[in-house]
Chain A
């Protein structure tokens, strides 16, 4: 580890963690982040780069990195893995056609060494849309009970970024899981 990373590690606030929000394009990553933060979500355009937001939640500081999900920029995701405590994987529950892509990208992501210790929270988003797959259907189609996830702390929550439903439960789980893993040890 270099000088600056050491300084950051030693000096960073105790209850601070870094969350990476990923998923296919149009899954609703930015909308979830803004909705959870109480911001206007009516004019969000596809993210071509990334957004950062620092949220205070249940006494924790969450540094959230929301990176665009279009296929051409997925190769850049790796630049954001460093020091990530938790990954929020956002799924468009109504996009049945791309559920296979979604699974492949998630499994690929979870195979990345730098994310080996990160908690995984999956948002089955767009539950307000007719035709959306349920949380349990998505759990099955992503194969969350399979061997790829057996050593992973993971949780899945149905939500709607538009209505706000389910967001709090997911974020609570994420915060508790990370804090249980990291902060209780020290």
Chain B
């Protein structure tokens, strides 16, 4: 990860400057809130997060079809997806911000409705939207099918495939072409675009 702004999470100064423009009257809770939001931003930009999301999507995108009607199975996959993402985020926040608890953060969010703006929260919000999930899965599916792009994939993936964590993570039993398994297309994928967008400080 090459984003440096949030390098030191334990320093409240960093996040204070970025999130709040350096307000002098911050309470302890404000500082904690900003620290958590900073950590959250870090987690979402992290390659590990992107890999986790990608491997879930590649693993399950096969059942998705580009029709108006949705299959019942999409709903259980959607719950699995949001639970996976939520579980991952909470685990990371818990380890990176020692005083983090979901209960406390939950009530902070409730009290700060006007501050819940920007890319991090837009991205979190997008994880709760079924239609966005369906679109994401469909775009992974068309990537996996690699229509017309197989030649390109072949060339690039020789370098990238072996070294990606995603290659070994939840990718077993896929029916997609082997050469599309790697992270070759990640720069083009919506997931990765979102992650990059989210990396921009408000």
Asked if B102 is at the interface of the complex by the 8 Å CB criterion, the answer is yes
Question: Could you tell me the distance between the alpha carbons of A73 and B76 in the complex, rounded to whole angstroms?
Answer: 14
Partner of A8 from the list B69, B76, B113, B125 (CB cut-off 8 Å) is: B125
Contact partner of A3 (CB less than 8 A), chosen from B74, B75, B102, B130, is B102
The answer to whether B124 and A51 touch across the interface, beta carbons within 8 angstroms, is: no
Interface members, chain B 34-87 (any A CB < 8 Å):
68-72, 74-76, 79, 82, 85-86
When C-beta atoms are compared, the residue in chain B nearest to A9 turns out to be B110
Q: Which chain B residues border A52 with CB–CB below 8 Å?
A: 70, 130-131
Name the interface size band of chain A: 20 to 34
Asked if A180 is at the interface (CB within 8 A of a chain B CB), the reply is no
* Cβ-defined contact, A6 with B106, below 8 A: yes
Task: Pick the contact of B106: A1, A73, A76, A79 (CB < 8 A).
Answer: A1
Residues of A with C-beta under 8 A to B174: none
- The residues of A that contact B71 with a CB separation of less than 8 Å are 48-49
A49 and B74 in contact (CB under 8 A), knowing A2-B102, A3-B105? Answer: yes
Is A49 within 8 A of B70, CB to CB?
yes
Contact A79 B121 (CB under 8 A): no
CA distance A10 to B69 in the complex (A): 29
CB pair A50 B109 closer than 8 Å: no
For the complex, give the distance between the alpha carbons of A52 and B82 in Å.
19
- Assess whether B164 is interfacial by the CB under 8 Å rule: no
Asked if A61 is at the interface (CB within 8 A of a chain B CB), the reply is no
User: In the assembly, what is the distance between CA of A2 and CA of B86, in Å?
Assistant: 7
Chain B facing A: main interface SS: helix
On whether A47 and B75 interact (CB within 8 A), knowing A3-B89, A3-B105, the answer reads no
Partner of B76 from the list A2, A3, A4, A79 (CB cut-off 8 Å) is A79
Q: Is B116 close to A, CB under 8 A?
A: yes
List the B side residues contacting A4 at CB < 8 Å.
Answer: 82, 85-86, 124, 127-128
- In the complex, the chain B residue whose C-beta lies closest to that of A80 is B75
Indicate whether A5 reaches chain B with its CB closer than 8 angstroms.
yes
Contacts from A to B (Cβ < 8 Å): 1-8, 10-11, 47-52, 68, 73, 76, 79-80
22 CB < 8 A contacts A-B: A2-B86, A3-B86, A3-B89, A3-B102, A3-B105, A6-B106, A7-B109, A8-B125, A10-B113, A11-B125, A48-B69, A49-B69, A50-B69, A50-B72, A50-B75, A51-B68, A52-B131, A73-B72, A76-B72, A79-B72, A79-B75, A80-B75
Question: 7 new A-B pairs (CB below 8 Å) besides A49-B72, A73-B72?
Answer: A1-B106, A3-B89, A11-B116, A48-B71, A49-B69, A51-B69, A52-B130
Nearest 9 pairs of A and B residues by beta carbon = A49-B71, A8-B128, A7-B124, A4-B128, A6-B106, A49-B70, A2-B86, A49-B72, A79-B75
